[in-house]
Structure 1
C-alpha cells in the first residue's frame, strides 16, 4: 500500500482531520521492523537525526504537529505519528530523557550515544561528510501514534 493511501485511510477512519497533510513517509534506521514495532507499542516516542544531513540535501526540517507515515522494512505503512515537538540542539546536549524516549536498547544515554555515534558516522561517511559529535547538531523529534492499521 502506498503511504498516501494509508494516510487517506486514516482520515476516512476519523483518526486524522480531513484538512491534515502528510509531511513524509520513512522507515527508522537499520532495524526498521523492530523500531516500527517499538513505535506501535508506544515504547518509542522520539527520534534523532542530523541537522547537517538536512542541510547538505537541502531538505526541510520536520515540523511540529506534522503527520508522518512510518514504514516497515518492506517499505509498507504500519503507523502514522504526529510530531509533538521538534528541536535542533547540539548533539552533545541530547540528554537521558530523550535517549529513554527513543525506546531502544537499555534506554540509557550511554547506550544511545554508542548506537548513534556509530549510526551517524556511517550515515555521514555515505554522504561524504565527517561526523564529529563535538560540532554536530541534532534534530530531536518527539511524537505519538495516531493510527495503526
Structure 2
C-alpha cells in the first residue's frame, strides 16, 4: 500500500468517512516548489480557496467531497473538503476569493498578476488555447479537515 492510500484509509477510519468520498489526490502549482509552498499554506489554514481554468472535458469538483493535498514529493500533507464551486469569467473573480487563496500579500492585484501569468501558460501549453479576461475559471473554496 502506498503512502497516499494509507494516509486516506487512516483518515477515513479516524473520521468515519466512506473511502469512496475521495475525489482526488493532487499538488497545487506546476512544480515541486509551488506544491511545497502551497500545501504548507493549506496545512496552516491560510489557503482555503483555489482557482483553475475551466476545462469542459474534466469533472468539476463536488461540494462535500474530499481531496488529499500533496507536497512537492507527492507525499500527503492534509485532507480538504470542498465547500463551494463556481464557474465564472476570470475578470469576475472577487477580491475576497483572491484573499482566501492565501498567496503573496493576499491582495487582488497580486493574485491577478500571478494567476494571469499561470493561466496564460496553462492555456497555451496544456490546453492549446488563448487566455483572456473572459476565460472561464473554476473558483473553489475548501476547508482543511486533517
Same fold (TM over 0.5): yes
Tell whether the 8 Å contact from 2:80 to 2:142 is kept in structure 1 after alignment. Answer: yes
Q: How does 1:5-84 map to 2 (within 5 A)?
A: 5-14=6-15, 16-18=16-18, 21-30=21-30, 31-51=34-54, 54-55=55-56, 58-84=57-83
Q: Which residue of 1 aligns with 2:87?
A: 88
Distance 1:20 1:145 in 2: 18
Q: CA RMSD in A?
A: 1.3
Runs of 4+, deviation exceeding 2 Å:
1-5
Tell whether the 8 Å contact from 1:4 to 1:22 is kept in structure 2 after alignment. Answer: no
Distance 1:98 1:33 in 2: 21
Tell whether the 8 Å contact from 2:9 to 2:19 is kept in structure 1 after alignment. Answer: no
Structure 1 stretches of 5 or more lacking a match?
A: none
Distance 2:102 2:51 in 1: 12
* TM-score normalised by L of structure 2: 0.91
Distance 1:126 1:6 in 2: 33
Secondary structure, aligned partner of 1:64 = coil
Structure 2 stretches of 5 or more lacking a match?
A: none
Deviations, residues 69-122 of structure 1 (Å, cap 9, x unaligned): 100001111111001111111110101100000000000100011000000011
Mapped pair 1:4 → 2:40: no
When residues 9 and 83 of structure 1 are mapped into structure 2, their CA distance, relative to the original with a 3 A threshold, is same
Deviation at 1:4, TM superposition (A): 2.8
Deviations, residues 38-93 of structure 1 (Å, cap 9, x unaligned): 00110000000011xx22xx211111111001000011111110011111111101
Q: How does 1:134-149 map to 2 (within 5 A)?
A: 135-147=134-146
Secondary structure, aligned partner of 2:119 = helix
